[in-house]
Structure 1
Amino acid sequence: MSVTNSRPWSFGLPLFNGGSRRAAVRSAASTYDVSAAAYQSGVLDAVAEVETALVRIDSARRRICNATVAARNYRAYFNAVGANWQAGGANLRDRKYAGVPRNRPKFRSARSTAARCAAELPSTKHAVAVGT
């Protein structure tokens, strides 16, 4: 007696799988597209953060420079009025006007702005080298 196999051409792989492989490929491609978009978004966010940090640093540098120049100019003005007063070219009212308290808050504000900007620089989120 001979034993017959009811499945003579059995390979263990389905020949007709109803498109499940094509669906799996499309699913993998979609997953790749989503991952690539998420990566691109992350890179763009990082670039935006760096750009923001650079703008903050540049702005702080400009404020420090402006405050320093303003303080230097105020000192030069005050010293010039004092020298002019000593030479007899200005009266006491001019000298007092140069040093009245309404100018001092501006001078203090310039110094405090410079100090505040200098304090902000190291607090940036990322260390960025900026050419001077």
Structure 2
Amino acid sequence: MMKSLKRTIAIFAVVGATLMPAVATAQSLTPQDVAKMEARLNLTPEQRAAIDPVLRSSMTARSTSFQKHGVDLKTCKRPGALGLIRLNKDMNRINADTRTRLAAILTAAQLREYDKIVAEQTVIVKKKIMC
């Protein structure tokens, strides 16, 4: 019984840790968030216009996936271990697609800074999701 409980906790910890970047970027971005990100990335006007649909599409896909798997960040509702694994697969796919699309728009230095922004947001959201 204790071994099973430890295994379940370990699964939640591993899956939860891999979901954090996805959760972080799934949050709706406020105009202030977008302005800060644009400033940190030092975007050109053309880049600003180009990344907007990428980020909107990504957030929509994440929101849809969260709903599909029964995640509600406001109420801390989460699926079980199997649901988290499925959600993780969806989020990894969305993350890879978003990053690939952004890589075609951003310079290498900007993409590294974007990765830092995502990591910072991960820490913030991790605190929120662990209710």
TM-score range, shorter chain: 0.3 to 0.5
TM-score norm. by structure 1 comes to 0.34
Higher Cα radius of gyration: 1
TM-score norm. by structure 2 comes to 0.34
